Chain A
């Protein structure tokens, strides 16, 4: 009985849409249907249309590359900062933690807005800095017009936002490694590197795995950052990732059938990835 309210909400707001999504994805559901025409049953047509559309594959490939690149960069920087925290004394460590916390606490929209201002072509402080160190081509440089530089900006922002979580989680994992292990290994004559390899890495591995998986899941569905940057001057067709593509297809062009079919790609990918994540979690905790 106690479960009923929670269940009801979940069914109404997630379960039923999931079912509707499946139904719509097999229907011709465009603008005409939006204005009252009954939707026509078209079987797998939407899926065929999507799979044979080369643009969808471009978008998927782009999303995957973007996701992996961002997850990798975030992990590397995050782990490096976590290790750095263990090597410094209290003062600098606290300062670094405050810096990371501030970035983490910023609401996404606010940080996106600030980064747009930092990258502003005319008065942005980044162009000013680059020009002043002698890179004159950056005077008035517009960052969002070009595809590659658009994604560079997006990556900088995503990494800036995501590193704190990785750094803190890994640091928490590192501090849980008992110090006696290191001492014992040192007495046995193990070098610093082999101590790191043989003791630290295996003990922190579960945390690293979970964090990496979460990063991949989050970076795969990145929407807000791309959407807002497109608004700010990116060329939509060249910069769509899967989230923004579905949005433009469904709510922009009214092709709900197609958009629903495309949504399944995101759903299936995340569910497969998170099944693994849940398995790791459940193994760690008694249910």
Chain B
């Protein structure tokens, strides 16, 4: 490599590092601010390193109704993940293993349906759940979430099921396995990574969703985590940014770890599949 190319590469490297630092800064700032005591967060000069910081802000978060909302969020998300995975898995099996009339149009419908934004439908979804007495209920919100994530999970799982060669199942049948055995011994283990990826996708969607939970969970005692963070911010905006940042950290960090684990699979799925943002 000539020196000219090498210096050029180095210049681009420096640019990349600077941009990376700018892009990370908000995340860093959230962590940093969450460790600062009152007097330093409200100083004329910002504190850039949380030296001699404290965890007191986290204590203030735990004293609020954080754990109640965490419980609601956990229930909604759990229900969504389990149901969406189960339903989508069955549908994916049907779509990839059997030929039937309407199969192609079902796949097309799935692709189109999953682009429908909550913002175009929440008014009548609200009316629907109101009519069924399901406003402010975990079941009601989960129902909407399941419908929102099922199309993409079907699409994603279908790709994985297609990836398991039929010959393998047939070989197992020839060797004397029953259909059920062949399924549990051969197909299911091979699909495990796909199920994990789709499950994490459903988890992230349900855990982070804001619009629908804002519409459906109108009572303060039924808030999900994103709603809680919003109202906690409103309540403490004037006085306690450290507490607000600690709340953000608690909402964000567990999810970010999950996201980083499956990011790779999701990116490829996004371009070759279809996904709602």
Interface residues of A (CB under 8 A from B): 1-3, 5-7, 9-10, 12-14, 16-18, 20-21, 24, 81, 84-85, 87-89, 91-93, 95-96, 98-111, 113-118, 120, 122-123, 125, 128, 160, 162-165, 168-169, 172-173, 207, 210-211, 214, 217-218, 221, 223-224, 227-228, 231-232, 242-243, 246-247, 250-251, 256, 259-260, 263-264, 266-267, 270-271, 273-275, 277-278, 281-282, 284-285, 287
Contacts and interface: CB of A to CB of B under 8 A. Distances in A.
B251 A107 contact: yes
A122 B112 CA distance: 46
Given A9-B150, A87-B9, A109-B210, A169 B94 contact: no
22 contacts: A5-B91, A6-B88, A13-B147, A18-B121, A87-B12, A88-B16, A93-B16, A102-B256, A114-B29, A114-B248, A125-B29, A160-B26, A162-B277, A172-B271, A210-B271, A223-B211, A227-B210, A232-B233, A267-B116, A270-B116, A278-B111, A278-B115
A239 B241 CA distance: 25
Contacts of A6: 87-88, 90-91, 150, 154
Interface of B: 8-9, 12-17, 19-24, 26-27, 29-30, 33, 41-43, 45-46, 83, 86-88, 90-91, 93-95, 104, 106-108, 111-113, 115-128, 143-144, 146-148, 150-151, 154, 207-208, 210-211, 214-215, 225-226, 229-230, 233-234, 237, 241, 244-245, 247-249, 251-252, 255-256, 259-260, 263, 267-268, 270-275, 277
Q: Which of A6, A7, A14, A103 has the most CB of B within 10 A?
A: A6
A3 B106 contact: yes
A242 B97 CA distance: 42
Contact of A21 (B42, B83, B118, B124): B124
